[in-house]
Structure formats: C-alpha cells, structure tokens
Structure 1
C-alpha cells in the first residue's frame, strides 16, 4: 500500500485515489512548498473519505494550538510527526487529538532504525525517511534515498512505511531491498517543488502494485 504525501490540488487527489493510494498526506509546515491550511485540506478530503483512504496530517514539532486547529479543521485519521518529538510528546499528542500516530525516524545507519523501537508501542505506524543534511531547512521531502537494506528483515508490531527519495522508477527495487509493507512518496511524483504530477502519481502506484 502507498501514501501520496503533500497533495494540494483536486487533480492530485483524484490521481492518487484512482491509482489506489491508501493514504493521502496533507502538509502543515510553512517551510514546505506543499504547505496548506486545514481549511484547504478539508475541501480536498471528501473523495478520500468516500473511498476509504486515510487522511493524514503531516506536522513538524507542532504546538498544542497548531494541533487543535488541524483537528478542528480537518479531522484527520492519522497525524504524522516529522520532527524531534520525544516518546512522551508522542503520547501527549495521541491523547490530545484522539488520532492515530505515524512517527517518522530519519535514517542513515543501523542505530537509527533501532531508535524507532522506543515509539513502537505508541503509534499506528513507523516511517523511515532519509536523514536530512545538517543545513536542511526541512526534515523531509528532499528527494534523497538512504540505504534501504538497513531495514532488510526488520520486524515491527504494525506495518511500517519506507520513505525518502522514492519515485516510479526505484520504488520496486526499494520494496525488494527493504521488505517495506508500506511506501510514501512526495517529491518523487512532482514536476516541480510542490507541483504534483497526476501522470507520475499513477505511474508510482502502478509500480507499487507490480512490486
């Protein structure tokens, strides 16, 4: 199954749903070219809810005020935490929002994968993403893969996501190398920063199905 992240137009939503995406991600982070308001995201979600796709709010070290606004405006099924949230903060957010949690772990070496175990009892899904360079102004959506074999043979209590640098041409290889049950894509299906390409979305989802 796949998540198309950073959608912001009806065309992208339609392409994702027609291709069989199980999750749609909406970005709430001002530094991202995919940033939307809760109200704008909410206008895009009725087709997803009608077809059973999960609506995911993607945030980075959110404040309680930001979380309250997103929950009130969007009513997401899941909240994806893409910052440096501690296990204690993840527990707080889950309790405050009543939403399932996806916790992102940035990866560059085996110890990073092991560190995700601390979050495992608290979340619906873990997500493994490329660790950004120290000078990056955002934690993901940079279009760079990591060594997928670091996850080979990994077992977790719930299905986990592979993310980071995936696209229609490499996602089959990534699934084979990592054993990922779920995959996430954002920049790999864009024709420019934040500009989702429906043709690339469909190609990505076709490749996931084949894999």
Structure 2
C-alpha cells in the first residue's frame, strides 16, 4: 500500500514548523480561525510560511470566512491550498476556487453513511474532500481529537479525491490507513502535548508510523 500524504495542521510556532518539515510532511496547515487555540495572525502566518516555502504546501484553514479575510491570508502567507472547515456549500467552494485560482479542500463532518454521501455534491467544486469527525454542537468544528467509524469511508471511490482526519495520532494512524486506504491523512491535536502546543516527538512518531506501512 502506498504511503499516504501527510498534513500536519495547526502549525503555530517555528519549532512546530521545523518538526513538521523534518518529518517530511507534504502539507502544513495554518489556521485562520480566532476561536481555535491554533489560530495564527496574518503576520505570524507569513513568517511560518516562509519556513515552509519549497518544502511543503501551505494550507490555509478557514471557517465560514469572507473573501477579504481569505485574500489577506493568501497574500501574506503565500498559501498554496484553501481548506474550508465550516458550512461552505459547493457553490461557495467553487466561487473561492475560481476567485483565488488555488486548489480548495472541503472538510466534511462524518457520523453516518449519509454524511459520507454528501461528498459527491462537491465534485467539480473542490479538489479534495477531507472526512473528519463530527464534533458536538457548539464546539470547535475540528481539532478536538475525536474520530469516527473508519469503515464508513473504507476505500472510498467517490467522484472527488479525499483524505482522512479526526482523532488520528501516532498510535492509531497505521490502523486507520489499513482500514480505509486513505491517500492523505491530516493530524492536529494527535501530535500535541496540550491544545495548540505541537509536540516534536509526536510529529516524528506520526510520520514514522505511516512510513512503516508501505
């Protein structure tokens, strides 16, 4: 089984970025959502992005953000990919893809087979859907260490590329990939020592666990 691409999300410090790049992450995520403990300012994002330039694609995570907010982040941080983690419709995703000329990923909350079927509606509007765990109402939309029944997306063959998120960590990611065949995995809280505090050892362990699968 090919080793999946790795995204380390919620990078908010120079040490975390160094660890992600040392682990050869394919994608690094910068969160532009003030309610998140992983939120970065535009200025912070610009400095972190410069570290990653030419080594990993820089993914900006937004939650129901307006065009001006996204534009400011794209310009300052030189983002390579937009990740939408709110209630964005296929129409909204397609608008952003056209406006900014960047690949768009859409996170979808999963708790049932019906939730997985929603992904098909985004075909043609986004470049990738990210199946994530559904969080309790009134909480953050992700990054809470929650997982879902991986069998719901096992070897998914829908009309759009996909990745797996939600509760992944160094201890379970190999099993998650074995069950699902995910071509991309996205981790945030699973490589932290506290909310918003990335652990360099856990980042390295996450990558090592995956590279032992192939």
TM-score, normalised to structure 1's length?
Answer: 0.95
Pairwise CA RMSD:
1.1
What displacement does 1:155 show?
1.2
d(CA) in 2 for partners of 1:180, 1:167:
15
Name 1:167's counterpart in structure 2.
Answer: 169
Q: Are 2:101 and 1:98 equivalent residues in the alignment?
A: yes
What displacement does 1:139 show?
0.4
Matches within 5 A, 1:42-53: 42-51=46-55, 53=56
Name 1:147's counterpart in structure 2.
Answer: 149
Matches within 5 A, 1:44-193: 44-51=48-55, 53-136=56-139, 138-193=140-195
After superposition, the C-alpha distances for 1:166-188 in whole angstroms (9 at most, x for unaligned) are 00000001111111110000000
Structure 2's unaligned 5+ residue stretches are none
After superposition, the C-alpha distances for 1:136-173 in whole angstroms (9 at most, x for unaligned) are 2x100010110001011311455421000000000001
Name 1:16's counterpart in structure 2.
Answer: 20
d(CA) in 2 for partners of 1:153, 1:115:
16
- Shift of the 195–206 alpha-carbon distance from structure 1 to 2, 3 Å rule, reads same
Q: Is the 1:56–1:78 Cα contact (8 Å) retained in structure 2?
A: yes
Structure 1's unaligned 5+ residue stretches are none
d(CA) in 2 for partners of 1:44, 1:86:
29
TM-score, normalised to structure 2's length?
Answer: 0.94
How many residues are matched? 209
Q: Post-superposition, which runs of at least 4 consecutive aligned residues in structure 1 deviate over 2 A?
A: 156-159
Name 1:38's counterpart in structure 2.
Answer: 42
d(CA) in 2 for partners of 1:158, 1:3:
18
